[in-house]
Amino acid sequence: MLCFKRTSYPEDLASSPVVRSSSSWLTLKWAKYAEFLHCKGRKFVDFDEVRLEIEAETERITGSNKGISTVPINLRVYSPNVLNLTLIDLPGMTKVAVGDQPVDIEHQIMEMLMQFITKDSCLILAVTPANTDLANSDALKISKEVDPQGYIGVVNRSQKDIDGKKDIRAALAAERKFFLSHPGYRHIAERMGTPHLQKTLNQQLTNHIRDTLPGLRSKLQSQVLSLEKEVEEYKNFRPDDPTRKTKALLQSVDTSNLSGGAKINRIFHERFPFELVKVSSVVNLF
């Protein structure tokens, strides 16, 4: 799982910025189209239409005056150029409420962010504008608090690049040139950039599968054995078997709530004596 702060999509989805206040779940697959959970059966092949649909669905969920919502927008992107990962695009951090936003919007967004980035299985992609000093980045500050193990630097397209329809290949070439030529990064250029991030994510996914697979296999085997045992019991099933009737009755009994006679019985034996004692105490006062 990869969490990031601002809107950034594979291919040419980010042809213009999308300002939202709800989370998006992106599942990346091999192919070249996109599907929304709320548009079942419809395949989007034009990513400009995907961007417009995100804007439209955001407005339907949050309203047209910068409202916020915890209801996610689910988008599945199919492309041979992306990894098989789930990305959660979270709203950017806001300190001052505008429009229909609640006065405690900073607290609400922080809760939404922490809900995801504190998960052990979550990798954080903190996006900071290029014209902002990294030392003042709220995204990096929070990321270090929950995951102090280091970072991989990447350079995304600028707003000018997006407006000019700069494609991904050209953006990757520019990113590579930046790290190789920058005096502060050229000595670690091989450990920076989007390609290295992709390799790291793929390795993290592989490690996660390797670590969790034994436990998952054990759990599935236990469930299979339990079901096989139940199937064996049903092979000798007789409708008139009293033990079966007792088991079925016990399974159908609701133990979470009392109703009818059981509730009356409880009131009579537990609550009623207590009320009598209270009445006696009041009478004795007089």
What is the SS3 assignment for 151-209?
A: CCCCCCCCHHHHHCCCCHHHHHHHHHHHHHHCCCCHHHHHHCCHHHHHHHHHHHHHHHH
DSSP string, the chain: -EEESS---STTTTSS----SS-EEEEEESSSEEEETTSTT--B--HHHHHHHHHHHHHHHH-SSS---SPPEEEEEE-TTS-S-EEEEPPPP-SS--TT--TTHHHHHHHHHHHHHTSTT-EEE----TTS-GGG-HHHHHHHHH-TT---------HHHHHTT--HHHHHHHHHHHHHH-TTTGGGGGG-SHHHHHHHHHHHHHHHHHHHHHHHHHHHHHHHHHHHHHHHHHHT--TT-HHHHHHHHHHH---S---THHHHHHIIIIIHHHHHHHHHHHHHH-
What is the rounded CA–CA span in Å between residue 268 and residue 257? 17
Q: How much is the average pLDDT of 140-155?
A: 84
What is the rounded CA–CA span in Å between residue 181 and residue 243? 79
Q: Is the pLDDT of residue 284 over 80?
A: no
Tell me which residue has tokens 């609550």. Answer: 271
Q: Is the pLDDT of residue 133 over 70?
A: yes
pTM comes to 0.51
Percent of the chain whose predicted confidence (pLDDT) is above 90:
10
Contact 81, 11 (CB under 8 A): yes
Q: Identify the structural domains of the chain with CATH numbers, from first to last.
A: 2-151 (3.40.50.300), 157-235 (no CATH)
Contact 22, 66 (CB under 8 A): no
Lowest mean pLDDT among 12-21, 166-175, 208-217: 12-21
Contact 24, 73 (CB under 8 A): yes
What pairing do the DSSP bridges indicate for beta strands 24-29 and 73-78? parallel
Q: Is the pLDDT of residue 180 over 50?
A: yes
Q: How much is the average pLDDT of 206-221?
A: 87
